[in-house]
Amino acid sequence: MLRYEDRGHGPAVVLLHGFPLSRRIWAGQIDHLSRRYRVVAPDLPGLGESEPLPDSEPPTMLAMARRVLELLDYLKIDRAAVAGHSMGGYVSLALQKEAPHRVAGLALVCSQARSDAPEARQARFVLAERVMQEGAQVAADALAPRLFGPRVTERSEVYQETLALMRASRPEGVRAALLAMADRENMRPHLVTITVPSLVLAGEADAIIPLERAECMAANMANAILVKVPGAGHMPMLEAPEAVSEALDWWLELVY
C-alpha cells in the first residue's frame, strides 16, 4: 500500500507528485483544498515513503496508476478529481485511461501527453544506470537547475529544500520512475476521449516541459481550461502556491 496523506472532508481530490519528488510538494495545496474537499496525496511507488514496485512487476505508468486505484479502493473512494504534476500527470492520464469512471475531473500541471523522443528516452536509460551506481543525487543534481523559473535562485530555501527532497529519494525508486517514463505510451490520441472538466496548468517559464505542449493538450481536450502562471517554472505549486490553489479551486468548482 502506498503511503499517503488523507485530509479534509467532502468530494475527493487526489494529488500526484512528479519525479523524483514526494507528496510534500503539495503541502500548500493540501492545506488550502482540505478546507472544502477530502484531499488524498500519495507518495508514488518507490518515492517518498512508499515501497518500490516488486521486482516481478515492470515499472510502468499503469503499474503506478493501479497502486493509486488500490489506495482509492482502500479509502472507499469511488470517484475523485485527479491532479498530477509532471510525471504525476503521466500517471493521472494512465489512471484515467484505465478507469475513466473513477475520474470526475483531470488536472495536468506542467505535464504532457506525448511520449519521449528517442534521444530523451535513451538519456533516461543512461541516467537510470548512473543512479544505481552513484546514487539518487545524480538525478537530483541534473534536474534542480532546470526546475524553477527566474525568481528562484540556487540560494533560496525552496530550491535547497527541493534539492534535498530529490537527493533523499531511493535509487531503486528513481530508476524505476525513469524506466517507466522512458517507456510511457503516447497519450495524445487519448486526449480527445477525455470529456470530464479538465485543467491544464503551466508555468510560463517551464524549462522542462515547454508551454506549447500545455496549449496543445488543452486544445485537444473537450472540456479543458488552460491556466498559465507568469514567471513560474516547472514547480508552480512551490513558486506561486496561491495562483495554483486558485486555479485548482476554479477547476474543482467545475468538477463538483
C-alpha cell at 249: 479551486
Answer yes or no: are the C-beta atoms of 237 and 29 closer than 8 Å: yes
What's the CA gap between 75 and 70, in Å, rounded? 9
Q: Should residue 16 be labelled a site residue for ligand MLT when binding is judged by CB under 6 A? A: no
Cβ proximity to ligand MLT: between 112 and 198 the closer is: 112
Cβ proximity to ligand MLT: between 104 and 165 the closer is: 165
Mapping DSSP onto H, E and C, the string for 207-236 reads CCCCHHHHHHHHHHCCCEEEEEECCCCCCH
Q: Should residue 128 be labelled a site residue for ligand MLT when binding is judged by CB under 6 A? A: no
Q: Should residue 19 be labelled a site residue for ligand MLT when binding is judged by CB under 6 A? A: yes
In whole angstroms, the minimum distance from the beta carbon of 231 to ligand MLT comes to: 18
Q: Should residue 148 be labelled a site residue for ligand MLT when binding is judged by CB under 6 A? A: no
In whole angstroms, the minimum distance from the beta carbon of 234 to ligand MLT comes to: 6
Interface with ligand MLT in residues 37-96 (CB under 6 A): 86-87
Cβ proximity to ligand MLT: between 104 and 143 the closer is: 143
Answer yes or no: are the C-beta atoms of 239 and 29 closer than 8 Å: no
In whole angstroms, the minimum distance from the beta carbon of 10 to ligand MLT comes to: 28
Cβ proximity to ligand MLT: between 181 and 255 the closer is: 181
Cβ proximity to ligand MLT: between 44 and 104 the closer is: 44
Q: Should residue 29 be labelled a site residue for ligand MLT when binding is judged by CB under 6 A? A: no
What's the CA gap between 130 and 116, in Å, rounded? 19
Half-sphere exposure of 107 (CA within 13 A, CB side): 29
Choice from 181, 217, 237, 252 touching ligand MLT (CB under 6 A): 181
Cβ proximity to ligand MLT: between 87 and 93 the closer is: 87
What's the CA gap between 97 and 203, in Å, rounded? 25
Query: Pick from 207, 203, 205, 202: which is nearest to 218 by CA?
Result: 202
Choice from 99, 123, 208, 226 touching ligand MLT (CB under 6 A): 208
Amino acid of residue 232: A
Cβ proximity to ligand MLT: between 8 and 171 the closer is: 171
C-alpha cell at 243: 495562483
Query: Pick from 167, 164, 214, 222: which is nearest to 193 by CA?
Result: 222
By CB under 6 A, the count of residues binding ligand MLT is 6
What's the CA gap between 135 and 139, in Å, rounded? 8
Answer yes or no: are the C-beta atoms of 205 and 219 closer than 8 Å: no
Q: Should residue 18 be labelled a site residue for ligand MLT when binding is judged by CB under 6 A? A: yes
Residue ranges that bind ligand MLT, judged by CB under 6 A? 18-19, 86-87, 181, 208
